[in-house]
Amino acid sequence: MPSRAWKWFIEYTHPTQAHMHGVDRYIYSGKTAFQRVEIIDTDFFGRCLILDGKIQSSQFDEYIYHEALIHPAMVLHPEPKKIFVAGGGEGAVLREILKHRSVEKLVMVDIDKETVELCKQYLPQWSQGTFEDPRVEVLYMDARKYLEENTEQWDIIFLDLPEPLDNGPCYLLFTTEFYKTVAERLRPGGHIALQADNLNPKLFQCHAAIYNTLKRHFKIVDSYGTYIPSFDTEWGFIFASQTVSALDFSNEKINSILEEREITDLRFYDGLTHQALFSLTKDIRFLRSQSNRIIEDNNPLFST
């Protein structure tokens, strides 16, 4: 093995669990009004965005996270025209959403303008110019406040938020009160997708709580997940709808929709990947069934 690094980023997922990433170069380190931001070049995963000590995405594998978050919900909608994104700072969600040409309007509301500007400057490969797309509008404010105050409805709402940390900017975007508003802002036939915490069975309580809370407002809630190397874990997502289940879409159907839409440049998502994403293993299904935690404004959830 070549010589080891002497600069390290250490991400704790628990007081006795951590992942060490050898660092090539530190690109940026600062504190916005909302969170601490680090941009580093790791030896193994290339450039990484870190918010409050947690890797958000890496150059090497952000395609996995972003394709997994975006394409199932896009494909499951017959003609997604109006898309709302809460969070989404790096801009990679814009890049993926706009691969579906039916999109006419795409509003992204992120609370932290400074972080978005840093991403534009240091992570241009993530957004690939889509911040400048005429269909895109970016607003810098609290997404919950926006949705509460604007009754406009959307085909798909994506929640691409960091983990709900105590004192962090977004723990009130994981509550039953917020999800109720989200459900009300969907057009008929609309649905949502969100990142939904760790699927490590030892750290599963967050995902289960998000799942249970969404169940109050959506008839169909489908957990899904995939291994994300730079997170060193299986990561969870959720698709929620009043009418459609992701489990009803076969390998072939997914592939034919992608073909019709002439989307040929995906590296991660296709029909078989769709099956992989939504096929939860038995232990995870069991753990999910054991939880009945509901997240409320007065009883919020904090990820470790």
Instruction: List the structure tokens of 127.
Output: 């957004």
Does residue number 289 form part of the binding site for a copy of itself (CB under 8 A)? no
Residue 39 Cβ vs a copy of itself, minimum distance, rounded to whole Å: 10
Q: Which H helix or E strand runs over 114?
A: helix 113-122
Token pair in block for residue 24: 């090539």
Residue 9 near a copy of itself by CB under 8 A: yes
Residue 112: partners with Cβ closer than 8 Å, 6 or more residues away: 32, 33, 34, 35, 89, 140, 169
Binding to a copy of itself in span 42-81, by CB under 8 A: 42-45, 50, 53, 60-61, 63-64
Instruction: Give dist(CA 263, CA 270) in Å, integer.
Output: 10
* Span interacting with a copy of itself, options 121-129, 143-151, 193-201, 237-245, rule CB under 8 A: 193-201
What number of residues does the chain have? 304
By CB under 8 A, residue 264 contacts a copy of itself: no
Residues contacting a copy of itself: total by CB under 8 A: 64
Contact pick of 200, 223, 241, 303 for a copy of itself (by CB under 8 A): 200
Tell which residue, 129, 290, 304, has the closest CA to residue 211: 290
**Residue 238 identity:** I
User: What mask, x for binding a copy of itself by CB under 8 A, covers residues 15 to 44?
Assistant: xxxxxxxxxxxx--x--------x---xxx
Decide: 183 and 218 in contact? Cβ < 8 Å: yes
Closer CB to a copy of itself, residue 151 or residue 167? 167
Token pair in block for residue 34: 């909302």
Q: Minimum distance between the CB of residue 4 and a copy of itself, rounded to whole angstroms?
A: 5
Residue 214's nearest CA partner among 244, 181, 188 is: 181
Cβ-based nearer residue to a copy of itself, 171 or 269: 269
The nearest distance, CB 64 to a copy of itself, in angstroms, is 7
Based on the shown chain and the rule CB under 8 A, indicate whether residue 266 belongs to the binding site for a copy of itself. Answer: yes
Lookup result for tokens 């390290």: 8
Determine if 121 is a binding residue for a copy of itself (CB under 8 A).
no
Of 64 and 147, which CB lies nearer to a copy of itself in the complex structure?
A: 64
Q: Check: CB of residue 249 under 8 Å from CB of residue 277.
A: no
233 binds a copy of itself per the rule CB under 8 A: yes
Classify residue 298 as exposed, middle or buried by CB count within 10 Å of its CB (0-12, 13-18, 19+): exposed
First to last CA, the chain: 33
216 contacts a copy of itself (rule: CB under 8 A): no
Verify whether residue 160 is a known catalytic residue: yes
Q: d(Cα 284, Cα 24) in Å, to the nearest integer?
A: 37
Neighbours of 60 (CB within 10 A): 15
* Identified catalytic residue from 160, 197, 222, 270: 160
**One residue of 117, 128, 184, 202 binding a copy of itself per CB under 8 A:** 202
> Is residue 227 a contact residue for a copy of itself (CB under 8 A)?
yes
Choices 184-192, 208-216, 238-246, 274-282; region in contact with a copy of itself by CB under 8 A? 274-282
Catalytic residue positions, numbered: 160
User: By the criterion CB under 8 A, which residues form the site for a copy of itself?
Assistant: 1-12, 14-26, 29, 38, 42-45, 50, 53, 60-61, 63-64, 199-202, 226-227, 229, 232-234, 266-270, 272-273, 275-276, 279-283, 285-286, 304
